[in-house]
Amino acid sequence: MENGSQSRIKTMSAAPKGDTTPKGTNIVWHDASVDRQGRASQRGHRSAILWFTGLSGSGKSTLANAVNAALFEQGIATYVLDGDNIRHGLCKDLGFSDADREENIRRIGEVAKLFLDAGIIVLTAFVSPFRADRDKARGLVEAGDFIEIHCAADLSICEERDTKGLYAKARAGEIKDFTGISSPYEAPESPELNINTGNQDLESCVNVVIKQLQDQQLIPAPHPPVS
């Protein structure tokens, strides 16, 4: 019992990754009484950040929520952080300038990191157009904890969908700094998954993501049928 407790404390005492120099002074990092490994053992699966990125209309939220539902059915602890939803609360003070987009993703990266430590598979659905911002989010966690999923639908398909009417407004000059029209989108150079969400059906896309989680041994693989 004593050895196990000491091992757990040693694990929890590791310094957090990323920028650990806060503006405030006279603050000290406090280790939690239960660590991430303990939560994984209790739940029967590991945690991870699934970072869905792509143009507006590429299917990020649709795919993230479909994967979320599939994992929920397997008893996996999950949560979806959706771009529009976050801007109704945590990031309601931010607009869509480059600086605001950077701060938006910085906040999401930190929140996703908290979910990771809580033993939850967190699915983030954000345009997150700038490669450097996504790389900073990845840099907050250990290798293997961050799975970048590029929803690689062509701009023409995204415009055809235009479920919110945003592209039409951007083309008309009614929306400034709109990704893909008046603001750039920097596609991932080497994401863990590159899924053609423009032409591939939703079920197939979900299966690709689930297989990635199984291959990385984040969630249990399905049991073979009993003969």
21: region left, alpha or beta (phi > 0 left; psi from -120 to 50 alpha)? beta
State the average pLDDT over residues 203-207: 97
Taking the CA atoms of the chain, what radius of gyration do you get in angstroms? 19
Give 110 or 223, the one with higher predicted confidence.
Answer: 110
pLDDT score for 58:
95
- 128, 182, 183, 190: which one is catalytic? 128
Kindly state the percentage of the chain with pLDDT values over 70: 84
pTM: 0.83
Per-residue pLDDT, averaged over 93-100, amounts to 88
DSSP assigned state of 198: T
Indicate the burial class of 145 (C-beta count within 10 angstroms; 0-12, 13-18, 19 or more): buried
Which domains are present in the chain?
Answer: 39-215 (3.40.50.300)
The pLDDT confidence band at residue 43, using thresholds 50, 70 and 90, is: confident
Q: Say if residue 158's pLDDT is above 70.
A: yes
Average pLDDT estimate for 36-63: 89
Q: Tell me, yes or no, if 128 is annotated catalytic.
A: yes
Question: How sure is the predictor about 14, in pLDDT bands with cuts at 50, 70 and 90?
Answer: very low
Residue closest to 37 by CA, chosen among 66, 9, 58, 77: 9
What local confidence, expressed as pLDDT, does residue 84 receive?
A: 82
pLDDT number for residue 96: 87
96 or 41: which carries more pLDDT confidence?
96
pLDDT reported for residue 7: 38
Q: State pLDDT tens for residues 173-191.
A: 999 889 999 999 999 999 9
| Reported confidence tier of residue 10, pLDDT bands at 50, 70, 90 | very low
**Residue 40: predicted pLDDT:** 76
Select the more confidently predicted residue: 124 or 10. Answer: 124
Q: How far apart are CA 32 and CA 21, in angstroms?
A: 20
Position 3 pLDDT exceeds 70: no
Residue 18 pLDDT > 80, yes or no? no
